[in-house]
Amino acid sequence: MKILKVGICGWGNVATGLFRAVNENAEAIKLNSGANFSIEVIGARRDNPECDPGKTLIERDIFAVLDHDIDVVVELIGGVEVARELILKAIKNKKHVVTANKAVIYHHGDEIFQSARDHGVRVLFESSVCAGTPIIKLLKEELAANKVSKISGMLNGTSNFILSNMEEGEDFDATLRLAQEEGYAEPDPTFDIEGMDAAHKIGILSSLAFGTALPPLDFHIEGITKIDKSDFHYAMDMGYTIKHLAVAKIDNGMVELRAHPALINLNSHLANLKGVRNGMEIDTDLIGKIHIAGSGAGQESTASGLISDLVHLYFSIDVDTSSAANNKINPPMSDFSELFFQYYFYIEALDIPGVMASITSLLASRKVGIESIVQKEELSRESVPIILITDPFKEADHSLLCKELLNLDSVRAIRSIRIEAE
């Protein structure tokens, strides 16, 4: 029986999860897929007390893994530049590559894939987006006959976990600490909560769906740190909840990319995805709208995606890829400032006569229509929250409107969140 010989580079949580899954579920993998793996060597700079590698050979130099008789390198060291060097060296050594590293794919994917084509090997990265939820293969293979026009949804499990808990009334800081305690967030969570992780992922999906080169990170990226738990209360009163959305859309040959918090309808499919779950809606021409959801974080989920790539390699490892076409295009990016959005505004204002009139008058002068406006219960003796939903208006006018609202003598603070059109 053919055996796929595997070398793992890295020995953190994901690597140990993969090691356990391959060894503990070996019979199930053989029964379900017919594939047979053997982990021959592990590149580990230090031991991991959470997992005993048994008799598996350990190399303290991760690059030494490439010197062994293996078919595939599983890159799980994280980071960008060292990972890039390792992957390119593996490719030159005629080793296939499996990775869960979305950052290295985003920043160096075009170079890596071209090198793989030149050397006749494969680079698979299912777990780089949505962990084990199979969206990469879905776009590359199952939907190959379809024209995809839009992808939208939640791509960061940490952010969705935090926002789900805030929806239940928890504070941001307390929920972030809980996410860290549960292993859903890193000690430094900046990459997740400021939107960069989701941005990398939607850039990768955009490239796969639209056949474009990997885009520069100059599209609109916004995190969740400015959202207050009270925003959920007000939003839900109006039939919305708040999610961190990543959106890729192609229209008239232009690509729209963005990642930011948004109000979405409570009755939508995405609104019901809680905790660390990821979920995407994919608009296609042949089979309509597709919904896909699953765990977006966690050792086991990521291991599932890595093993799916190994199974794929097991049955395709002898296929010649050297002549694979590279037909990537570089369409223009939509100007975010020219897009139109409805907006939710939270306005903390002094409880004095004429406040509502001054706010509505300012919006009218800017030709911004109001869909609904309501004054809520007092925050204190002196101030009240005013919640309004605008008609769609141009993004370029949003920042100016915020500044002008804050310049009103009666306004103390404002927050605003885009509303995603259904």
Position 324 pLDDT exceeds 90: no
Asked if 140 is an active-site residue, the reply is no
What's the rounded mean pLDDT across residues 356-376? 93
Question: What is the tens place of the pLDDT at every residue in 215-226?
Answer: 888 899 999 999
Question: What is the tens place of the pLDDT at every residue in 281-301?
Answer: 999 999 999 999 987 667 788
> What percentage of the chain reaches a pLDDT higher than 90?
70
For the chain, the average pLDDT equals: 91
Question: What is the tens place of the pLDDT at every residue in 85-114?
Answer: 999 999 999 999 999 999 999 999 999 999
CA dihedral sign of residues 163, 164, 170, 175:
negative
- Phi/psi for 12 (5° steps) reads -90, -160
From the candidates 201, 229, 243, 249, give the one annotated as an active-site residue: 201
Domains of the chain with bracketed CATH: 4-131+300-316 (3.40.50.720), 143-294 (3.30.360.10), 337-419 (3.30.70.260)
Position 381 pLDDT exceeds 80: no
Question: What is the tens place of the pLDDT at every residue in 52-80?
Answer: 999 999 999 999 999 999 999 999 998 99
What's the rounded mean pLDDT across residues 164-173? 96
CB within 8 A of 337, min separation 6: which ones? 394, 395, 396
What's the rounded mean pLDDT across residues 360-370? 95
Position 261 pLDDT exceeds 90: yes
Question: pLDDT higher for 357 or 299?
Answer: 357
396 confidence band (pLDDT: 50, 70, 90): very high
Q: First-to-last CA distance in the chain?
A: 51
Position 323 pLDDT exceeds 60: no
Q: What is the pLDDT of residue 15?
A: 92
